[in-house]
Structures are given as structure tokens and as C-alpha cells.
Amino acid sequence: MGFISRGFKGRREPAADSSRLPPGQYLVRDFPVLSAGPTPHTPLAEWSFTITGAVDADKTWSWEEFRKLPSETVTKDIHCVTKWTKLDTSWTGVAVSTLLEGIDTSADYVVAFSDGGYTTNLPLEDLVDGKAWVAYEFDGRPLEPEHGGPARLLVPHLYFWKSAKWVRGLSLRNEDEPGFWESNGYHLYGDPWREQRYWGD
Ligand SMILES: Nc1nc2c(c(=O)[nH]1)N[C@H]1C(S)=C(S)[C@@H](COP(=O)(O)O)O[C@H]1N2
Ligand SMILES: [Mo]
């Protein structure tokens, strides 16, 4: 006697779904805010998104133009290097493949850059084929500034520091160049399933 059956708790806790939890991570239900600096508040009239670097010609969209691009809504699990994982987050945005359409490049790498100076590096192949978006809605509402609004990169298969908030563009590179956290000890690639948190992992 004295046991409390888990069945009495009603709805099954997502904690039960450990197959979706990468090694060393724990589940959260809230949405923590992690920013290395103050939250920028760029007016939409001044906002633009640019593909630059190793390209024949830069490509730039205003906010209005960007919002007319075909969008997708996706549901993804996100994993922060500080060990929280949030399941089933819903985002709407433009697939990076859509932004790269018609761009001719020999580059294999990308540095995403943001208002406030944040950068993060990724292999180009991790941004295409339905693996990454520039998201402007979370849970069906405009993305809040604290979480990267008006728009942030979303690369859910890598640790969440790769999902640059307040993203303003992608610079294509022929070599892999560490971004902000990668220059400060975080792993160059950052696969949560291989627990690539820091240099040497
Ligand atoms: N521009 C910018 N993007 C950023 C960061 C940042 O400090 N600045 N922090 C990164 C880290 S470490 C994480 S875990 C997530 C946090 O996103 P959230 O605040 O929406 O949870 O944003 C990532 N993108
Ligand atoms: Mo993070």
C-alpha cells in the first residue's frame, strides 16, 4: 500500500519519452531565455535579410518582401547546450533552401550574423533540405524579441546556440570560421546526439 500509481497523474508526462532526449539533457516545459547581450529592437522598416559572402551577387529582402516568401510551419524539439530540451515547439518561417534558390556558390560553410553582433557557423548542408528555417512566429504568434524576434534562425538538429536570434543574414564561406560561442569554447559543429558541447567533445 502507499504507492501512488502513475496512472492517477492523468496525462502522460513528456519525461516518459526519453527516446527524444539527447544524452545529458533534461526536459523543460517553459521556454528559457538565453542571450549573451541586450535584446535588440530593430524597427521592421529598417530590417533586412541578406545572403552575402562567397556569392556572385548579394541577395537582400526587406521585411515586407521576406514575409511574402513561401513559409512553412514545423514542430521540432530544441536542445540547449546548458542541458534543457523542449519538445514539440512550433515555428513558422522561411526554409533556408527557399532563400538560397538561384544562388550560385562553391561555399561549404556559413556564418549566420545577427543584430547585436552575434555570429554562429554551420556547414551549408546543415541549412538545406528541410533542416533549417528563418522563423518569425512561435506557437502561431509573432516571435517575441527576447526569443529572437522579428526573426531567428532555427536549426533544431544542432544545439540551440546555432539558432541565431535577431538573424539578419547568412555569409557563405569557403572555410569553417568559428562564430561567437565557437570562439569561446563551444564545439564547432554541436550535435546534441553526439554531445558535442565543447572543444574536444
Ligand atoms: N543573437 C543571439 N542568438 C542566440 C544567442 C545569443 O546570445 N544571441 N544565444 C543562443 C543560445 S546559447 C541559445 S540556447 C538560444 C536561446 O534561445 P531562447 O532565448 O529563445 O531560448 O539562442 C541562441 N541564439
Ligand atoms: Mo544555449
User: Which CATH number do you get for residue 162?
Assistant: 3.90.420.10
Q: Hey, which of 30, 34, 146 would you mutate to test ligand 1's pocket, going by the most ligand atoms within 8 Å of its Cβ?
A: 34
Q: Is residue 200 part of a domain?
A: no
Can you say how many angstroms the Cα of residue 1 is from the centroid of all Cα atoms in its chain?
Answer: 48
Beta-sheet pairing, 152-154 with 133-138: antiparallel
Distance CA 140, CA 138 (A): 5
Q: Is residue 9 part of a domain?
A: yes
Give 75's DSSP letter.
E
Can you say how many angstroms the Cα of residue 141 is from the centroid of all Cα atoms in its chain?
Answer: 17
**pLDDT of 16:** 53
Q: Under a CB-based contact definition with an 8 Å cutoff, are residues 100 and 88 in contact?
A: no
Q: Is residue 20 part of a domain?
A: no
Q: Is residue 18 part of a domain?
A: no
**pLDDT of 18:** 83
Regions of the chain where pLDDT drops below 70: 1-16
Ligand 1, closest atom to CA 82? 14
Domain count, the chain: 1
**pLDDT of 144:** 98
Question: CA-based Rg of the chain, rounded to a whole angstrom?
Answer: 18
Q: Under a CB-based contact definition with an 8 Å cutoff, are residues 81 and 190 in contact?
A: yes
109-159 residue pLDDT tens: 999 999 999 999 999 999 999 999 999 999 999 999 999 999 999 999 999
Q: Which domain holds residue 30?
A: 4-13+26-194
**pLDDT of 7:** 41
**pLDDT of 12:** 40
How many whole angstroms from 37 Cα to the centroid of ligand 2?
A: 13
Among candidates 106, 99, 88, 173, which has minimal Cα distance to 133?
99
Q: Is residue 148 part of a domain?
A: yes
Q: 148 by DSSP, 3-state: which? A: coil
Q: Is residue 84 part of a domain?
A: yes
Q: 49 by DSSP, 3-state: which? A: strand
**pLDDT of 15:** 54
**pLDDT of 37:** 96
Among protein residues, the one with the nearest Cα to ligand 1's atom 10 is 161
